[in-house]
Amino acid sequence: MSTAPAAAAAFVASGVPAVLEELRSLFGDRLSTSAAVRRHHGEDATHHIAAPPDAVVFVTSTEEVQAVVRACVRHRVPVIPFGTGTSLEGHISAPFGGVCIDLGRMNEVLAVSAEDLDCRVQAGVTRKQLNDYIRSEGLFFPVDPGADASLGGMAATGASGTNAVRYRTMRENVLGLTVVLADGRVIRTGTRARKSSAGYDLTRLFVGSEGTLGVITEVQLRLQGHPEAIAAAVCSFETLRGAVETTILTLQMGIPVARIELLDELQVEAVNRHSRLDYPLKPTLFFEFHGSQSSVEEQAKAVGELAADNGGSGFQWAARPEDRTRLWEARHEAFWAAKELRPGCMAITTDVCVPISRLADCVLETRADIDAEGFTAPILGHVGDGNFHVVLLIDPGSADEISRAEALNQRLVERAIGMGGTCTGEHGIGAGKIDFLELEAGDAIATMVAIKRALDPSGLLNPGKVLRDSSPAG
Amino acid sequence: MSTAPAAAAAFVASGVPAVLEELRSLFGDRLSTSAAVRRHHGEDATHHIAAPPDAVVFVTSTEEVQAVVRACVRHRVPVIPFGTGTSLEGHISAPFGGVCIDLGRMNEVLAVSAEDLDCRVQAGVTRKQLNDYIRSEGLFFPVDPGADASLGGMAATGASGTNAVRYRTMRENVLGLTVVLADGRVIRTGTRARKSSAGYDLTRLFVGSEGTLGVITEVQLRLQGHPEAIAAAVCSFETLRGAVETTILTLQMGIPVARIELLDELQVEAVNRHSRLDYPLKPTLFFEFHGSQSSVEEQAKAVGELAADNGGSGFQWAARPEDRTRLWEARHEAFWAAKELRPGCMAITTDVCVPISRLADCVLETRADIDAEGFTAPILGHVGDGNFHVVLLIDPGSADEISRAEALNQRLVERAIGMGGTCTGEHGIGAGKIDFLELEAGDAIATMVAIKRALDPSGLLNPGKVLRDSSPAG
At A378-401, the pLDDT tens digits run 999 999 999 999 999 999 999 999
Q: Specify the CATH class of A6-104+448-455 in words.
A: alpha beta
Distance CA(B28)–CA(B48), nearest Å, equals: 32
Q: Which one of B119, B143, B197 would you mutate to disrupt binding with A, by most A Cβ within 10 Å of its Cβ?
A: B197
CATH code linked to domain B229-418: 3.40.462.10
Distance CA B372, CA B473 (A): 44
Question: What is the mean predicted confidence (pLDDT) over A280-306?
Answer: 93
CB pair distance less than 8 Å for B453 and A454:
yes
What proportion of chain A, given as a percentage, has pLDDT over 70?
97
According to CATH, where is 3.40.462.10 located in chain B? 229-418
Q: Using pLDDT thresholds of 50, 70 and 90, give the confidence band for residue B6.
A: very low
Average pLDDT over all residues of chain A: 94
**Averaged over B94-98, what is the pLDDT?**
96
* Range of lowest pLDDT (A38-47, B98-107, B121-130): A38-47
Question: Which residues from chain B sit within 8 angstroms of residue A188, using beta carbons?
Answer: 442, 444
Distance from CA of A430 to the nearest CA of B (A): 9
A423 phi and psi angles, rounded to 5 deg: -75, -15
- pLDDT bin (cut points 50, 70, 90) of residue A471 is confident
Supply the pLDDT for residue A9. 53
d(CA A197, CA B168): 13
pTM (2 d.p.): 0.96
Distance from C-alpha of A230 to C-alpha of A159, rounded to nearest angstrom: 23
The answer, yes or no, to whether residue A19 has pLDDT greater than 70, is yes
- Chain B CB contacts of A158 under 8 Å are 197, 201
Where residue B2 falls among pLDDT bands split at 50, 70, 90?
very low
Name the more confident of B414 and A252: B414
State the nearest Cα–Cα gap between B343 and chain A, in angstroms: 31
- Residue A173's pLDDT is 97
Residue B411 has pLDDT above 90, yes or no: yes
Whether the predicted pLDDT of A3 surpasses 70: no
Residues of chain A with CATH 3.30.70.2190: 230-334
A224/B197 touch (CB, cutoff 8 Å), yes or no? no
CB B131 within 8 A of CB B149: no
pLDDT in tens, A179-205: 999 999 999 999 999 999 999 999 999
Domain with CATH 3.30.465.10 in chain A: 109-225
- How much is the pLDDT for A2? 41
CB contact under 8 A, B199 and A466: yes
Q: How far apart are CA B23 and CA A44, in angstroms?
A: 56
Tell me: pLDDT of B389 over 50: yes
Mean pLDDT for chain B overall: 94
What is the DSSP code string of A210-269?
A: TTSS-EEEEEEEE-EEPPSEEEEEEEEESSHHHHHHHHHHHHHTT---SEEEEE-HHHHH
- ipTM score of the complex? 0.95
Interchain contact, A159 vs B451, CB within 8 Å: no
Confidence label for A7 from pLDDT (cuts 50, 70 and 90)? very low
CATH 3.30.465.10 fits A109-225, yes or no: yes
Question: Could you tell me the CA-to-CA distances from A314 to A259, A284, B159 in Å, in that order?
Answer: 18, 10, 46
Q: How much of chain A, in percent, has pLDDT values that exceed 90?
A: 88
Cβ separation B193–A113 shorter than 8 A: no
Domain A342-430 CATH class label: alpha beta
* Edge-to-edge strand ranges of the sheet holding B118-122: B109-113, B118-122, B215-222, B174-180, B186-190
pLDDT digits (tens, 9 = 90+) for A102-117: 999 999 999 999 999 9
Q: Which of A134, A141, A124 is nearest to A60 (CA)?
A: A124
Report how far residue B171's alpha carbon sits from residue A271's, in angstroms, rounded to the nearest whole number: 38
**For residue A46, pLDDT beyond 90:** no
- Reported confidence tier of residue B121, pLDDT bands at 50, 70, 90: very high
Q: Which of A194, A201, A423 sits opposite B204 (nearest CB)?
A: A201
pLDDT-derived band at B474, boundaries 50, 70, 90: very low
Q: How far apart are CA A238 and CA A307, in angstroms?
A: 11
Protein fold of A230-334:
Alpha-Beta Plaits (3.30.70)
Cβ atoms of residues A215 and A65 within 8 Å:
yes
CB contact under 8 A, B172 and A169: no
Interface test with A, best of B195, B260, B359, B417 (most A CBs within 10 A): B195
Q: What percent of chain B has pLDDT over 70?
A: 97
